[in-house]
Amino acid sequence: MQPLDDATIREVADWVSAARRVVALTGAGVSTASGVPDFRGPQGLWTKQPSMERLFSLDAYVSDPEVREQVWQLRLQNPAFTVGPNPAHTALAELEQLGRLSVLVTQNVDGLHQAGGSDPDRVVEVHGTIHEVECLQCGRRLLAEPVFERVRGGDPDPRCTVCDGIQKCATISFGQSLDPATLQQAHDAAMGCDLMLAIGSSLVVHPVALLPRTALEAGARLVVINGEDTPYDAAAHALLRSDIPATLTALVEEVRARIG
């Protein structure tokens, strides 16, 4: 992690202030300061425990009741249910309130952008949400807490009360297709922006990793804000390696000063 690059932050603030349509693409690095671990970083969940990756496979989840039981217990322990948004989340919400952020596309499933003040109607959750549960058989969706309560009460693998189908949190697992309508929203946002801020994402998970390329090919500027290398660093118009909450806080302060 590098010190704040004040000159680059000021330049990016100029771009944000002048842009017609700004889109943010966020990944796990935005939530790590809240205490939600990422997956692929040096301290990531899969980096430390590679065997955990199997728990995020749809095939394993559907075929193995023991995997489902482990996953439900893992969900109950997810820190996203007990932590709050950090200054990165609130800075992006303020950028929106200043009229400088049109759409926030996120790979995160923790709901912390909305908790931090972002308009839910402007947040595109491409990998779903842990705050809802869906039935893989009939498609019924409901709030997650009543299902979690069943798990706490001793039901290790709560089935759908309508069709007895397998339920899972409404997040996208390996081997599971993204919702086409949600993916289209994200694609349209990338196509229509003239500035994309890619923040806290490794930019290696497809198809979301294609969104910066889509924005670049449509003529947008790309700013990468991340603690680790990404495949887009060389193509980015600006690259910021400093602490994400501090960088976004400084960026919003500069934008606020420009638009008064």
At residue 44, the pLDDT reads 53
The CATH architecture one would assign to domain 1-36+85-127+177-260 is 3-Layer(aba) Sandwich (3.40)
What is the average pLDDT across 243-257?
97
For 130-159, the pLDDT digits (tens) are 999 999 999 999 999 999 999 999 999 999
Residue 23 reports pLDDT greater than 80 = yes
For 45-78, the pLDDT digits (tens) are 544 555 677 788 999 999 999 999 999 999 999 8
Domain with CATH 3.40.50.1220 in the chain: 1-36+85-127+177-260
Q: Is 206 a catalytic residue?
A: no
Taking the C-alpha atoms of residue 193 and residue 189, their distance in angstroms, rounded to an integer, is 6
> Could you say which DSSP state residue 98 is in?
T
Domain with CATH 3.30.1600.10 in the chain: 39-77+128-171
pLDDT band at 37; cut points 50, 70, 90? confident
The region of weakest confidence among 33-42, 119-128, 170-179, 227-236 is: 33-42
Q: Which of 127, 187, 206, 237 is catalytic?
A: 127
DSSP per residue, 181-215? HHHHHHHHHHHH-SEEEEES--S-STTGGGHHHHH
Print burial letters for 219-257: b (CB count within 10 Å at least 16), e (below 16): ebbbbbbbbbebebeeebebbbbbbbbbbbbbbbebbee
Q: What is the dihedral of CA 178, 179, 180, 183, to 10 degrees?
A: -70
What is the average pLDDT across 211-232?
97
Both tokens of 175, joined, read 């081997």
At residue 151, the pLDDT reads 97
**What is the chain's percent helix, strand, coil content, to nearest 5?**
45, 20, 35
Q: To the nearest whole percent, how much of the chain has pLDDT over 90?
A: 85
Both tokens of 114, joined, read 């909305």
Question: What does pLDDT average to over the chain?
Answer: 93
pTM of the shown model: 0.92
Check: CB of residue 181 under 8 Å from CB of residue 205: no
At residue 56, the pLDDT reads 85
> Could you say which DSSP state residue 166 is in?
B
Please tell me the CATH superfamily of domain 39-77+128-171, with its number: SIR2/SIRT2 'Small Domain' (3.30.1600.10)
Taking the C-alpha atoms of residue 234 and residue 146, their distance in angstroms, rounded to an integer, is 46
